[in-house]
C-alpha cells in the first residue's frame, strides 16, 4: 500500500502539471491558496526526486514542504522513508516517531515503519512495544503476532516469544510453520516435550501429511523416545513405501544401534528418493572418506550410494563431483574423470570444476587427457592464462608441437604475470628444440631470460640444450652455475653442469658433478648414461660396466 500511495502522489503531481496549461480558464474560486500550492509544489518535487533516487534533494524539498504545512504527518513519513533509504536510521527514526505522534488516529503504515526502523537499528524492545500497540488497534492482522514474536526471539526472550506464537496459532489455526517455531523455542527453553505436543496436534489435524509425522518421529528420537519414534516411522512406510525421509531417520537409528545391514538398507532407500536433499546425501558420502581406502565394505557402499545419487539427481553437478571423489579415493581414476567431465558439462561456468578435472589428469600423468580437457576448458575461459599453459604443455608432451606453439602464442596475448609469460615461452622453446629448430629455441630462451634473468629452470634447460648441440659451452657453463646457485637442491641441475663440462672435455671435473647427480637419481636413465659415458672417457670401464649391470638388474 505504501508504494501505491507513492504512485498516487506522482500521478497527482502529473495531473497538476498538466492542468497548469489551462489555468487561465479556471474559475478563481478553484485556485489553490498560495500556501497550499507552495506545499504541494515542494511535496511533489520531493516525491519525484525520491523516485529518481535523488535522496538529498528529496529530503530538502520535503523539509521545505513542511515549512508551508508543519502538521503534515504524510511528509514526515516520507522523510523517514527517504532517510532510511539513505541508511540514516537515526534521523529516520526521529521522523517516523514524529509522524506517528502528529497523526491523531491509528495508521498501520506509520506504525509499521517505526517498528521496522527500530528492528533495523537493533532496538528490538521498542520494536516489540510498537507491535503490541498495533495489536490493540488491529488484532485480526496475522503478521503482527509473528513480527512481535520475532522481536522477542531477537531479544533472546524465548518465553515471551512462545506466548505470542501460541496466541497466533490459537487465534488463526494450527499451521506447520508456527508449530515448527514453537518446537525450536521450547527446545531453547529446555522444554522439548512442549514442542512435541504442538507437533502431535499438527499430526492430528493433518493426518495425511507425511512430513509432519517425520518431524514428530525425529523429535521423539532426539528426546530418546526411540521405540515410539520407530513406530511412527514404520507407520509412514506402511502408508508410503520407500519414503526417503522415514528411511533417512531409520538409517540414523540403526547406525547408532550398530546395525550396519539395516543402516545400509535404509540409506539406500533414502538415496533413491529424489525428495531427500542432495546436501544431506553429500554429507553422508563425506563420512565415508576416513575409511574408504582401507575398508572394502565402505568402498562398496560408497560406490553404490553415489551411483544412486547420480541416477536420481542426474542434473546436479555436485552429485557427479561426489561420485568422482569416491572413484578417485578407491583408485578408479578413469571413472573419476568421467564423473568430473559430467559435472563440468552440467556446470561449465565453474572454473573450480575444471581445476579439479585437470588436477586429476595431471595426477594420472595422462597428457592426452590433459590436452583434451584443457582444450574444452578454454572454450569457457579464454582469458585464463593457466589453461593455455596447461594445454600447450600437454600438447608438447604428446609431441603435438605445432599445437603446443599455437596455444602458447595465444596465451601470450592475454598473459599478464611474468611467470605465466615465461612458462608459455618455455613450452614454445622446448617445442622448437624437439623440432630441431635450434636457433628459434635459443632465441626464445633469450627472450625468457630478458623477462626474468633468474629463471633457474630456463637457465638449466638452455644450458643443457647448448651442451647437446656443443654450442657456446662457456655461456652454458655460466648459466648452469647460476641456476645451481639459485636452486642448489636440484640434482638434475648438477647433471646438466656435469654434461656441459663433459662436452668441454673437462672429464675429471665432469665426473665429480655427474657422480653426485647419479647418486641421487640412480633410477634416471639419462643421468646414468651421462655418468657412464664420462667414466669410459676416463677409462674406468669396469666401474662403468658395474653401473650398467646394476641398472639393468634394478629396472628388470
Reduce the secondary structure of 154-185 to three states and give it as a string.
HHCCHHHHHHHHHHHHHHHCCCHHHHHHHHHH
Buried b (16+ CB within 10 A) or exposed e, 372-397: ebbbbbbeebeebbbbbbbbbbbbbb
Contacts for 147 with CB less than 8 Å, ≥ 6 apart:
115, 131
Contact 75, 65 (CB under 8 A): yes
Q: Where do we find the cell 514542504?
A: 65
Rg (CA), the chain: 39
Q: Are 65 and 42 in contact (CB under 8 A)?
A: yes
User: Which DSSP symbol is given to 105?
Assistant: S
Residues 266, 244 contacting (CB under 8 angstroms): no
Query: Residue holding cell 541416477?
Result: 311
For residue 176 the three cell numbers come to 506447520
Q: Which residues of the chain have pLDDT under 70?
A: 1-33
Specify the pLDDT at position 226. Answer: 84
Dump pLDDT digits (tens) for 1-48. Answer: 223 222 222 223 322 222 333 333 333 334 456 788 889 999 999 999
The predicted-structure confidence for 306-319, as pLDDT tens digits, reads as follows: 999 999 999 999 99
Buried b (16+ CB within 10 A) or exposed e, 83-115: bbeeeebeebbbbbbbbbebbeeebeebbbbbb
Taking CA atoms, 184 is separated from 63, 133, 159, 191, 324, in Å, by 46, 26, 12, 10, 37
Sequence-distant (6+) residues with CB within 8 A of 151 are 119, 124, 125, 127, 128, 131
pLDDT, residue 1, reads 28
Q: What is the rounded CA–CA span in Å between residue 461 and residue 493? A: 9
Residue 33: what pLDDT? 65
Q: Tell me if residue 82 falls in helix, strand or coil.
A: helix
- Distance in angstroms (rounded) separating the CA atoms of residues 116 and 118: 5
Query: Are 184 and 192 contacting, i.e. CB atoms less than 8 angstroms apart?
Result: no
CA 110 to CA 264: how far, in whole Å?
Answer: 58
> Cell for 425?
615461452
Residues 327, 330, 333, CA angle at the centre, nearest 5°? 50
Amino acid at each position: 500500500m505504501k508504494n501505491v500511495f507513492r504512485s498516487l502522489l506522482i500521478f497527482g503531481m502529473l495531473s497538476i502539471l498538466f492542468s497548469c496549461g489551462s489555468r487561465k480558464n479556471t474559475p478563481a474560486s478553484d485556485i489553490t491558496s498560495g500556501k497550499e500550492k507552495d506545499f504541494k509544489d515542494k511535496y511533489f518535487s520531493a516525491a519525484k526526486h525520491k523516485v529518481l533516487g535523488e535522496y538529498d534533494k528529496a529530503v530538502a524539498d520535503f523539509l521545505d514542504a513542511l515549512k508551508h504545512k508543519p502538521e503534515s504527518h504524510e511528509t514526515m513519513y516520507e522523510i523517514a522513508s527517504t532517510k532510511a533509504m539513505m541508511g540514516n536510521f537515526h534521523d529516520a527514526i526521529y521522523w517516523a516517531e514524529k509522524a506517528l505522534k502528529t497523526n491523531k488516529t491509528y495508521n498501520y503504515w506509520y506504525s509499521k515503519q517505526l517498528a521496522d526502523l527500530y528492528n533495523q537499528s537493533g532496538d528490538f524492545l521498542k520494536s516489540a512495544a510498537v507491535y503490541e500497540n498495533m495489536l490493540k488497534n488491529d488484532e485480526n492482522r496475522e503478521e503482527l503476532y509473528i513480527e512481535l514474536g520475532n522481536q522477542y526471539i531477537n531479544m533472546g526472550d524465548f518465553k515471551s516469544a512462545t506466548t505470542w506464537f501460541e496466541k497466533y496459532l490459537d487465534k488463526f489455526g494450527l499451521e506447520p510453520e508456527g508449530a515448527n517455531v514453537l518446537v525450536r523455542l521450547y527446545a531453547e527453553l529446555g522444554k522439548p516435550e512442549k514442542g512435541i505436543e504442538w507437533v502431535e496436534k499438527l499430526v492430528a489435524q493433518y493426518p495425511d501429511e507425511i512430513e509432519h509425522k517425520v518431524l514428530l518421529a525425529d523429535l521423539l528420537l532426539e528426546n530418546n523416545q526411540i521405540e515410539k519414534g520407530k513406530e511412527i516411522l514404520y507407520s509412514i512406510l506402511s502408508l508410503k513405501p520407500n519414503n526417503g525421509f522415514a528411511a533417512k531417520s531409520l538409517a540414523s537409528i540403526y547406525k547408532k544401534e550398530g546395525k550396519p545391514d539395516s543402516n545400509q538398507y535404509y540409506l539406500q532407500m533414502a538415496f533413491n528418493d529424489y525428495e531427500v536433499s542432495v546436501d544431506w546425501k553429500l554429507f553422508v558420502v563425506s563420512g565415508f572418506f576416513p575409511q574408504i581406502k582401507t575398508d572394502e565394505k565402505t568402498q562398496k557402499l560408497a560406490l553404490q550410494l553415489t551411483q544412486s545419487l547420480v541416477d536420481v539427481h542426474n542434473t546436479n553437478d555436485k552429485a557427479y563431483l561426489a561420485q568422482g571423489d569416491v572413484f578417485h579415493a578407491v583408485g578408479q581414476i578413469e571413472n573419476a574423470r568421467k564423473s568430473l567431465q559430467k559435472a563440468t558439462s552440467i556446470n561449465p561456468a565453474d572454473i573450480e570444476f575444471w581445476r579439479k578435472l585437470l588436477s586429476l589428469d595431471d595426477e594420472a600423468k595422462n597428457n592426452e587427457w590433459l590436452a583434451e580437457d584443457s582444450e574444452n576448458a578454454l572454450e569457457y575461459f579464454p582469458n585464463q592464462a593457466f589453461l593455455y599453459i596447461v594445454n600447450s604443455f600437454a600438447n608438447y608432451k604428446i609431441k603435438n608441437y605445432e599445437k603446443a606453439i599455437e596455444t602458447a602464442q595465444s596465451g601470450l596475448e592475454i598473459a599478464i604475470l611474468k611467470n605465466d609469460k615465461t612458462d608459455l615461452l618455455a613450452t614454445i622453446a622446448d617445442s622448437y628444440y624437439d623440432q630441431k629448430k635450434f636457433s628459434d629455441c635459443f632465441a626464445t630462451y633469450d627472450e625468457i631470460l630478458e623477462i626474468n634473468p633468474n629463471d633457474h629452470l630456463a637457465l638449466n634447460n638452455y644450458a643443457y640444450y647448448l651442451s647437446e648441440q656443443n654450442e657456446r659451452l662457456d655461456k652454458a657453463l655460466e648459466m648452469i652455475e647460476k641456476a645451481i646457485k639459485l636452486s642448489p637442491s636440484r640434482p638434475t641441475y648438477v647433471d646438466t653442469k656435469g654434461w656441459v663440462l663433459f662436452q668441454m672435455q673437462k672429464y675429471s671435473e665432469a665426473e665429480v658433478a655427474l657422480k653426485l647427480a647419479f647418486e641421487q637419481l640412480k633410477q634416471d636413465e639419462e643421468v646414468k648414461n651421462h655418468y657412464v659415458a664420462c667414466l669410459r672417457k676416463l677409462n674406468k670401464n669396469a666401474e662403468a660396466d658395474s653401473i650398467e649391470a646394476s641398472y639393468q638388474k634394478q629396472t628388470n
